Amino acid sequence: MGASGSKARGLWPFASAAGGGVPETAGAEQALVRPRGRGVPPFVFTRRGSMFYDEDGDLAHEFYEETIVTKNGQKRAKLRRVYKNLIPQGIVKLDPPRIHVDFPVILYEV
């Protein structure tokens, strides 16, 4: 079966605009119909974490270390960003689940 045939039968709101086999009157009802076959939920339950663990096990977006700089005989403390020895957070569970960005439904509040 071709790709255009599967879009015409499933949940695909743009099938009639692309010249698919769906009549124009079915386009209005199509957004409310569940797809046959592989049902892909519109929700996202996990995401990739944006934070990192350092050697001590602390969790943060960025890590800095304090360094002492001597300039003209004066000691100054500066912060230097740490890039090495950081472990990504991994997969984070979303509570509550979010709607997937590619889900073709317009949400609005009345």
List the domain boundaries for the chain. Answer: 43-99
For residue 11, which of 92, 24, 26 has the smallest C-alpha distance?
A: 26
pLDDT for position 27: 47
Residue 29, SS3 per DSSP: helix
Joined together, the tokens standing for residue 70 give 């001597």
Give me the phi and psi of 29, to 5 degrees please: -85, -15
CA dihedral sign, ordered 51, 54, 85, 88: negative
- Per-residue pLDDT 10s for the chain (110 aa) are 444 444 444 454 544 444 444 445 444 444 445 555 467 788 899 999 999 999 999 999 999 999 999 999 999 999 999 999 999 999 999 999 998 888 877 777 77
pLDDT for position 34: 52
pLDDT for position 102: 84
Q: In this structure, which long-range contacts are made by residues 31-39, counting pairs with CB atoms below 8 Å and at least 24 apart in sequence?
A: 31/104, 31/105, 35/10, 35/11, 36/9, 36/10, 37/10
pLDDT for position 109: 77
pLDDT for position 100: 87
